A and B are shown apart, each in its own frame.
Chain A
């Protein structure tokens, strides 16, 4: 807007009186009719009003208000639960429509998987193993430990769609007119002839999408069939999503460390300990806890291959002020085992 200096001072004067509550009725009416008379003046008024209102200081705390609001939400949700336990018939009637809509919701997603009544395969990669999968179109997938991939026996003619829970590296056969889709949680990755890694473990604190070659689009699915693109990645770009803070980060770096796991290696390049322990815990199927906050940001450059978990931590110990304790597996009353737990401390001099 080039002309804001042509707003007469008398106009701003009226505004200041109105904002401050010293305007007379006549002055208010004069201001109102001035605003009505011109789109430009109306626009200017809005901006001044914005400036006036938004510059105000208020000391308001969101914390208590949030607790109050969450309380109100809980108290409103309780009676419904009571109803269902008392009124079995009502519960049945309520539940069925929900089920039906849920089925419709999922069947819409998986249209491509069930279209000509082909079977779909689900492959699990249990803890401690990496599974290589050859898809019907010749594409290859490496499935990391504790992950699951679902794909059809035959891809339909519109697109190639698979569903991932966990982590996988994809080597997709090139075909521009025949896109390859990976559904992972709330996200969908669209690719044509590329090599990329998707990390989307259901209970992990972070999701990541790392591109080695080609191009991928990452989208979020709002409703069945409705996608909105969040990012387009070029080679050596990585999109990270922090779940607890709902924050996206797009960075450029050598992507190898994101999929070195498929070669049986863990590669760390200036990575903070706090992030490394997630990868280590995954690889060795252990719980790792960083006890002291100050070592959480300690950064490491390291490549590990064919080492035991104690060897890994012994090596890390050598170059930094950390120490660790291993808590062995415990048998629970029901006969199951807890995982081995490693706790990392700051080593005080």
Chain B
């Protein structure tokens, strides 16, 4: 994101409120992928996530004149998506595919949207940080996050136990957290 993000979002919002479609397009293009990614952590389904995020944008356009955004634009979007995800989970809890169960303690899935770092914001620094840690830890991490593999599949491919995969990914996370501490 550029160094004038805050000011640009101010003007963008202003234009949006006046019904400027170009600003809607700019907003959509800027945040869509990251919001779908964020939504996926709740729904575990790409198509569902895409529909959900598109609905959020549609609603924003329809309510553009009465938009009252006191937090940052990014936080507002994240919160809107999060609320919708939680509603969805509550209404459709029967289906097992959802990663989050309604029986779960909300502290586990309610993420703070105030300091959330988006995928596009994290990407470059994450790749740099991964270069700095041992392959033993970064490889299973990449297989999980970049290739979308579950632990048992990773275990089979690396010819180790699932427990070992867990331990190595935990180590990767710990090292990454340290490496990215000024950023996260």
Contact = CB atoms under 8 A, between A and B. Distances in A.
Contacts of A13: 166-167, 170
A248 B170 contact: no
Interface stretch (A53-61, A307-315, A332-340): A53-61
A5 B175 CA distance: 10
Nearest to B28: A66
B181 to A, nearest CB: 7
A52 B7 CA distance: 30
Contacts of A249: 4
Q: Is the interface of A mostly helix, strand, loop or mixed?
A: helix
A29 B106 CA distance: 11
Interface string A281-302: 0000000000000000000000
Contacts of A45: 107
Contacts of B111: 46, 49-50, 53
A35 B167 contact: no
A58 B105 CA distance: 27
B92 interface: no
A90 to B, nearest CB: 20
B105 to A, nearest CB: 4
Interface of B: 2, 4, 7-8, 10-15, 17, 21-23, 25-26, 28-29, 32-33, 36-38, 40-41, 46, 50, 53-54, 57-58, 61-62, 99, 104-105, 107-108, 111-112, 115-119, 121-122, 126, 141, 144-148, 150-151, 162, 166-167, 169-170, 173-174, 176-178, 180-181, 184
Interface of A: 1, 4-5, 9, 12-13, 15-18, 20-22, 28-29, 31-32, 35-36, 42, 45-58, 60-62, 65-66, 68-70, 72-73, 76, 186, 220-222, 228, 230-231, 241, 243-250
